[in-house]
Amino acid sequence: MNIYQLNDLKLIQPGKMKKLLLILPLVVLMACSATTTEEGDRKAKEQLLQDYRQQATELKQKIAQLEKELGTEKVDKTIPVKVDTVVPKRFTHTIEVTGNVEADEDVTVAPETAGNIISIDVTEGQHVRKGTVMGRLNTEAIQRNIEDLQIQLELAKTVFERQQKLWDQHIGSEIEYLQAKSNKESLERKLEGLQAQLDMAIIKSPVDGVVDRIYQKQGEIAGPAIPFAKVVNISNVRIYADVSEAYLTSIHAGQEVDINFPALKKTVTAPIFRKSSTINPDNRTFQVRVNLNNPDKEIRPNLVSLLHITDYKANDAIVVPSILIKNDFNGKYVFVAAQNSGKWKASKRYVETGRNNNNYTMLSNGLKSGEKLIVEGYEQVVDGSPIAIH
């Protein structure tokens, strides 16, 4: 009690103070009595609830016992499943390999002789025909040599003609005649060689196509070992792909393949042109080649392609989703629905598997046409589990 409460009590008259002191103990006793009553009621109710639960448990046990004795218990222990009827179907196995595109004609052009480039007569991207002049080298020295030889040849021809006339008249010696003839013919051959060199100084396209790249510039020295330009013809392309030697006997020339170009979002079908006669010892593969017409020139060299090659076909095969096949110590198995005494039960069936493709597996043994394969709910069943087909 604080000082303020004491001050308040001092203000109360003595007679009233006595009455107040008598009332306070009664209030405290009533409050304690109410609290005790509430706690007693709660404990009584908790005990009653416990008794009821005990009685309910005993009643359930008695009911279950009576149902068992009378055979009237109704406990549904069947597992709901979904089944598919096994039907033989066509099965194909394909392999996917990566191919690389090459132009049918991809030529690096270089002059046949050395010399200074005096002109470049084409531009990159230009379409050219076979024989189109692409550039010229300096031929001044060759031309001077040709002019000198032409003068010498004129003199040699004159000498030869005179010696021939004398020889025809049986005048002069045979040696003089033969020397004149040999000199003329030698000069003629030299002149032909210089003219050939003159032609080699003119750089020409060896094929029809497009000038894809020009490597040199005017004024540089060109030569047979120095690339001058690149000409590409992609009207026809070739695709090469490496295939594992495991498929050597199942892939043949003429076999159709589907070729997908991811960058173009395009798929075409074409036959295998040939397969290589040797095995690459580094990666144990053989090479297949596919030829493609490319009239719109959409397929470019070095473009990545995916070849889907079918190496196996079966017309009447038992095929199941691969996810349904499980393994244990005895082998691979699936679950089928089988009737026993008029009731459906899950039956564990061991199978022999073959090839698989696109998440489906061909079975070589274990399942027959017409059987009911459990395709949903198979994770919840064991051999002999009662099932309900939905």
DSSP string spanning 135-180? EEE--HHHHHHHHHHHHHHHHHHHHHHHHHHHHHTT-S-HHHHHHH
Q: Is the pLDDT of residue 8 over 50?
A: no
Average pLDDT rounded to a whole number, residues 71-78 = 62
Instruction: Please tell me the predicted confidence (pLDDT) of residue 30.
Output: 54
Instruction: Please tell me the predicted confidence (pLDDT) of residue 6.
Output: 41
Tell the CATH topology of 234-313: Elongation Factor Tu (Ef-tu); domain 3 (2.40.30)
- Whether 79-90+316-389 and 234-313 share one fold: the answer is no
Q: Report the distance separating Cα 161 and Cα 155, nearest Å.
A: 10
CB 323 within 8 A of CB 275: no
157 burial (CB, 10 Å; 0-12 / 13-18 / 19+) is: middle
Let me know the angle formed at the C-alpha of 37 by 34 and 41, rounded to the nearest 5 degrees. 140
Residue spans of the domains in the chain: they are 79-90+316-389, 111-222, 234-313
Beta bridge partners of 237: 103, 292
pLDDT band at 28 (very low <50, low <70, confident <90, very high): very low
pLDDT band at 283 (very low <50, low <70, confident <90, very high): very high
Q: Report the distance separating Cα 217 and Cα 215, nearest Å.
A: 7
In whole angstroms, how far apart are CA 339 and each of 83, 292, 316, 317?
Answer: 13, 57, 26, 25
pLDDT band at 171 (very low <50, low <70, confident <90, very high): confident
Q: Is the pLDDT of residue 4 over 50?
A: no
Q: Which long-range contacts (CB under 8 A, 24 or more apart) does 183-186 make?
A: 183/156, 183/159, 184/153, 184/156, 184/157, 184/159, 184/160
Q: Could you report the per-residue pLDDT of 344-382, keeping only the tens digit for each?
A: 999 999 999 988 888 899 999 999 999 999 999 989 999
Helices (H) and strands (E) in the chain, counts: 4, 19
Instruction: Please tell me the predicted confidence (pLDDT) of residue 87.
Output: 93
Q: What tokens does 40 get?
A: 């007693």
CB 253 within 8 A of CB 270: no
Q: Is the pLDDT of residue 18 over 60?
A: no
Average pLDDT rounded to a whole number, residues 176-197 = 78
Instruction: Please tell me the predicted confidence (pLDDT) of residue 239.
Output: 96
Q: Report the distance separating Cα 218 and Cα 178, nearest Å.
A: 48
Instruction: Please tell me the predicted confidence (pLDDT) of residue 20.
Output: 46
Averaged pLDDT of the chain: 83
Instruction: Please tell me the predicted confidence (pLDDT) of residue 358.
Output: 83
pLDDT band at 286 (very low <50, low <70, confident <90, very high): very high
**Is the domain covering 79-90+316-389 a CATH 2.40.420.20 domain?**
yes
Looking only at the bridges linking them, the beta strands covering 89-109 and 133-137 are: unpaired
Q: Could you report the per-residue pLDDT of 301-334, keeping only the tens digit for each?
A: 999 999 999 988 888 899 999 999 999 999 999 9
CB 319 within 8 A of CB 362: yes
